[in-house]
Chain A
Amino acid sequence: MTVDRRDFLKMSGAGLGGLALSSFESSNGASHSPEADEDHSVLYDATICVGCKACQVACKRRSNLPPDLDSEGIFDAPKGLTADSWTVIELYQEDPVTYSFVKKQCMHCIDPACASGCIVSALYKTEDGPVLYDGDKCIGCRWCMTACPFQVPKYQWDKTVPFVQKCDFCSDRQDEGLDTACVAACPTGALLSGKRGELLEVAENRIKDFPDRYVNHLYGKDEVGGTSWLYLAGVAFDKLGLPKPDKIGTISPAKLTWPYMMAVPGIVVFMTGLCTGLYYYFRRGEKTGEEA
């Protein structure tokens, strides 16, 4: 974490210096923003999940998504998140006794990289927590897919007019005061929904009460500046296909890229002026075609 932050500061300093811009104080990387405590949030406990896929089925029903058929056309068998499968249960297995299920879906970051990467604001963060997508604005550039640290947004590659697809946190259900479809379907209580602040407490208590059961880390609390989905697991998170905590850091990519984005207008003005000046400087003795 510290290395990354150091790297980041060095990098941004060098970048800004190289661009002949005054270095300004980079935004702080405070991960746990108290204003997100009221956000709607879900805690996924991989040690309670039995891999029944009820969440997967409920998600498809609620969102009316077509199946991801297997080669024989019998099962809805997505191999990972796809445009038609917004949540998937995956299996990590070392040997017959060491295994863990893991539920994948949009993490609904507090400061989402997809939304910051989107040049037309088709992706946006709502006040209650969900990161939503407006297909009418989307131009199909797929920057969100590049930006997302969890590789969540998926593209409808097989459509003539494709859209980006991802979990919308059942924001319509949440507006009605209902749990998300996956949480409502979970038979074991592996999914727990509530306010983010309360869930952080619940999760930390679980780690404290059962230190043998869990890896001593609450994934999503600090990762990329915090996510609305929180993960508890019995095996290391990078083994579950999630980016390594010390690799993705605690600062949101949006904050990381902000200094560079800020520099763009300056560069445009500066370079335009510079080039125009050089042009006239070198052509100062020449006659124009008309005069000749």
Chain B
Amino acid sequence: MPFKAGSFTEVLTQHGVARRDFLKFCGVMAGTLALPHDLQTQIASALEAPARTPVIWLEMQDCAGCSESFLRASRPSAAGVILDVLSVDYHETIMAPSGHQAEKSLNDAIAAGGYLLVVEGSIPTKDNGVYCCVAGKTALQSLEEASANAIAVVAVGNCAAFGGIPKANPNPTDAVSVMDLVTDKPVLNLPGCPVNVVNLTATVVHFLTFGALPDMDGLHRPLFAYGARIHDNCERRGHFNAGEFVKEWGDDGHRHGWCLYQMGCKGPVTYHNCPTVRWNEGVSWPVAAGHPCIGCSEPGFWERPTYVPVELHEFTPPATYPDVVKEMPAIDPTNAAVTGVVAGLVAGAAGAVAIQQLGKKDPEDEEIVED
């Protein structure tokens, strides 16, 4: 959506975002992207530049939860303005036009090219993908058309990134993820259920500032957000190390904010930045609220039993120490007595048999003696 130079501040003002808040937002973005704070200025000027990178947002087999997440700001935020007002050209849930008008704006944007394609939801492939159709086109077709002119494809939410709930067993629609289908364009995954809007915004901001996608891990997840495990930065980690675990909902440990590992927390095997950026503008996040992490940014998370402790793959020492004096296993008097009696019986029996045998003369021996 083109807009005149200099009007950025006006747009912000219209949405009740002060310049100060905008700069603070740029600082937060620099922090989320793990960039030096000095880059805040660079980010601000990149965002204020008149040339915008449009965003097209397609919804496939999804619950619109990621869209909700991105609209969930309690007040109009700088992030909302950047994504919603200035960049997003087409979004099925939140755009004002509908029907043919909406399709026209989509086709216009695709024809213009040079956009970031955001995909939410998995894509059904069974029966030629008839299980998800918009405007008479299947999700497969829409994705193929929309990704053709895109600079890059951003898969938001676990469904788009790894298949999510639609792909979970028994997967009735043969749902697949975006990276299973789009092979000719760079694909960036922002898994989560839903995606955290901070990470989506930071990815867009990174792209606007540097003209490139951020560094990614093996699963195409940006390292700035998915470089560390929940467990690594968890505020309850100290309790894990000390061996202080919640054993039951509402027990004393739960009230004292102890570690939720034994209640099924997937933090030790889940890569996400929830503990640092948190949710709802930094208000809280599941583990802070007393619920174990469900591992929503990992492939196949829906197949994992939520309240069963996850199998650990990396082990760390506890916060306790072995004693220099090694405890020798104490001998139980009962065991000693039983062992003694048994040994005595065996020895006694053997002795008795031996005496009996010695008393007898071996006929063969006698023969030899006579010889």
Residues of A within 8 A of B (CB): 51, 53, 56-57, 67, 69-70, 73-80, 88-93, 101-102, 239-241
30 A–B contacts from the bound complex (CB under 8 Å): A56-B317, A69-B315, A73-B312, A74-B243, A74-B261, A74-B312, A74-B315, A74-B318, A75-B243, A75-B315, A75-B316, A75-B317, A76-B317, A77-B317, A77-B318, A77-B322, A78-B322, A79-B322, A79-B326, A88-B322, A89-B321, A90-B321, A90-B322, A91-B321, A91-B324, A93-B323, A102-B324, A239-B324, A241-B324, A241-B326
Known contacts A76-B316, A89-B321, A91-B324, then 14 further A-B pairs from the complex at CB < 8 Å, ordered by chain A residue? A53-B317, A69-B315, A74-B243, A74-B261, A75-B317, A76-B315, A76-B317, A77-B322, A78-B322, A88-B322, A90-B322, A92-B323, A92-B324, A241-B326
Closest CB of chain B to A145's CB: distance in Å?
15
- Is residue B96 contacting chain A, with contact meaning CB distance below 8 A? no
For window 312-371 of B, CB contacts with A under 8 Å fall at: 312, 315-318, 320-326
Verify A57–B321 contact, CB threshold 8 A: no
* Known A-B contacts A74-B312, A75-B243; A57 and B317 likewise in contact (beta carbons under 8 Å): yes
* Contact indicator A77/B312 (Cβ below 8 Å): no
Which of B315, B321, B323, B325 interacts with A51 by CB under 8 Å? B321
Q: How far is the CA of A241 from the CA of B322 in the complex (A)?
A: 11
Taken together as a complex, chains A and B put the C-alpha atoms of A70 and B321 apart, in Å, by 12
A89 CA to B320 CA in the complex, in Å? 10
Most A CB within 10 A of own CB, among B243, B316, B322: B322
Chain A residues near B325 (CB, 8 Å)?
A: 241
User: Known: A74-B261, A75-B243. Contact between A91 and B323, CB under 8 A?
Assistant: yes
Candidate in A67, A77, A92 with the most chain B CB atoms within 10 angstroms: A77
Inter-chain residue pair count (beta carbon < 8 A): 51
Give the distance in Å from the alpha carbon of A88 to the alpha carbon of B320 in the complex: 12
Q: Which 9 pairs, one residue from A and one from B, show the smallest C-beta to C-beta distance? A: A91-B321, A241-B324, A67-B315, A76-B315, A75-B318, A79-B322, A53-B317, A92-B324, A90-B324
Interface centre among A67, A75, A78, A101 (most CB of B within 10 A): A75
Closest Cβ of chain A to B90, distance in Å, is: 48
The number of residues on chain B lying at the interface, defined by a beta carbon within 8 Å of a beta carbon of chain A, is: 14
Report which residue of B261, B316, B317, B323 has the largest number of chain A beta carbons within 10 angstroms of its beta carbon: B317
Task: Report the nearest B residue to A100, measured CB to CB.
Answer: B324
Interchain nearest-CB distance for B203 vs A (Å): 32
Across the interface, which residues of B come within 8 angstroms of A69, CB to CB? Answer: 315
Evaluate contact between B322 and A70: CB separation under 8 angstroms: no
Residue contact B321 to A101, C-beta cutoff 8 Å: yes
Q: Are A240 and B315 in contact (CB under 8 A)?
A: no
Tell me if B321 and A240 are in contact (CB < 8 A). Answer: no
In the assembled complex, the Cα of A90 lies from the Cα of B322 at a distance in Å of 5
B271-329 residues with Cβ-Cβ distance < 8 A to A are 312, 315-318, 320-326
Complex interface: chain B residues within 8 A of A51 (CB): 321
Residues of chain A with a CB closer than 8 A to B320's CB: 77
Which residues of chain B have C-beta atoms less than 8 A from A70's C-beta?
A: 318
CA distance A174 to B312 in the complex (A): 32
B323: A residues at CB distance < 8 A: 90-93
Q: Contacts of B326 on A, CB cut-off 8 Å? A: 79-80, 241
Bound-complex Cα distance A190 to B315 (A):
24
Q: Please name the residue on chain A nearest to B261 by beta carbon.
A: A74
Docked complex Cα distance between A102 and B324 (Å): 8
- Interface 0/1 of B11-37, CB less than 8 Å to A: 000000000000000000000000000
In contact, A240 and B317 (Cβ under 8 angstroms): no
Residues from chain B with Cβ under 8 Å of A88 in the complex: 322
- A51 CA to B323 CA, complexed, in Å: 13
A73 to B312, CA, bound (A): 9
- Report the nearest B residue to A92, measured CB to CB: B324
Q: Among residues 248 to 267 in chain B, which have CB atoms less than 8 Å away from a CB atom of chain A?
A: 261
**B274 to A: closest C-beta gap in Å:** 22
**Complex-state Cα separation, A260 to B311, whole angstroms:** 54
The answer to whether B243 and A240 have CB atoms under 8 Å apart is: no
Chain A min CB distance to B365 (Å): 17
Residues of B within 8 Å of A57, CB to CB, are 316-317
Of B243, B316, B321, B326, chain A has the most CB atoms within 10 Å of the CB of B321
**A8, chain B: closest CB distance, angstroms:** 28
Chain B residues positioned under 8 Å from A78 (CB to CB): 322
In angstroms, Cα B325 to Cα A102, docked, is 12
Given known contacts A74-B261, A75-B243, A91 and B315 CB-to-CB distance under 8 angstroms: no
For B320, the closest partner residue in chain A by CB is A77
Bitwise interface map of B from 131 to 162 toward A, beta carbon under 8 Å scored 1, else 0: 00000000000000000000000000000000
The distance in angstroms between the C-alpha atoms of A93 and B320, with both chains bound, is: 12
Residues of B within 8 A of A74 (CB): 243, 261, 312, 315, 318
Residue of B nearest to A240 (CB): B324
CA distance A213 to B170 in the complex (A): 67
Residues facing A in B187-229 (CB within 8 A) are: none
Of chain B, the residue at the smallest CB distance from A67 is: B315
Which residues of B are found within 8 Å of A79, using beta-carbon distances? 322, 326
B315 contacts across to A, CB distance below 8 A: 67, 69, 74-76
**Least distance between B269 CB and chain A CB atoms (Å):** 13
A89 to chain B: closest residue by CB: B321
C-alpha spacing A198/B102, complex, angstroms: 78
Q: How far is the CB of B119 from chain A (nearest CB, A)?
A: 38
In the complex the two chains form, what is the Cα distance from A70 to B21 in whole Å? Answer: 50
Cα-based distance from A80 to B328 in the complex (angstroms): 13
Tell me, in angstroms, the Cα distance from A240 to B322 when the chains sit together.
12
* A73 to B315 CA separation, bound complex (whole angstroms): 9
> Which residue in chain B gives the minimum CB-CB distance to A91?
B321
| Pair A80/B322 contact, Cβ less than 8 Å | yes
- Compute how far the CA of A166 lies from the CA of B189 in the bound complex, rounded to whole angstroms: 44
Q: Which residues of A contact B316 (CB under 8 A)?
A: 57, 75-76
Complex CA gap A91/B322 in Å reads 6
A241 — which chain B residues lie within 8 A by C-beta?
A: 324-326
- CB neighbours (8 Å) of A102 from chain B are 324
Residue of A nearest to B318 (CB): A75
